[in-house]
Amino acid sequence: MAKRLLVVDNEQDQLDIMREIISRLGITVAMAEDGEAALQMMAAKPCQVVLTDLIMPDMEGTELCERLRNRYPEVVVIAFSGHMKLYDPDKLDRTGFDGYISKPIRIDTIAQAVENAFALAKRRRKARRG
């Protein structure tokens, strides 16, 4: 199965940076500028991993995570934000996030988080299949 990752952020420069970093890892990257677009993209062509900003207009990353969890229980969802201090890590865990990354991002941090996320996605698929 080809590795597909969805990045959700309302800031185009962040999307561009993430596309560059993740595509260099040999992973197919899809981009969405908001939560609704992300849900539509997942319905059309699901990704194993979603990286989402937390603070976005219309739908915050926490709501997106909850909606993804309900529809796609195997998906790995990672929050990334420049405002992680505003969020209680326990609440993020209860919401269903599998991890979080603070902006500004470091290439090695993203690479490690993405590698770990795909490993977790693979374990979830195997466990679901029995």
H or E element that contains 50: strand 49-52
Q: How many residues does the chain have?
A: 130
The percentage of residues in the chain with a pLDDT greater than 70, rounded to a whole number, is: 99
The angle that helices 12-23 and 107-129 make with each other, rounded to 10 degrees, is 70
Radius of gyration of the chain (CA): 13
**Residues of the chain falling short of pLDDT 70:** none
What is the pTM for the complete model shown? 0.92
Q: Domains of the chain, with CATH numbers?
A: 4-129 (3.40.50.2300)
pLDDT of residue 98: 94
Hey, which residues does 78 pair with through a beta bridge?
A: 51, 99
Nearest CA-CA partner of 6 in 20, 19, 24: 19
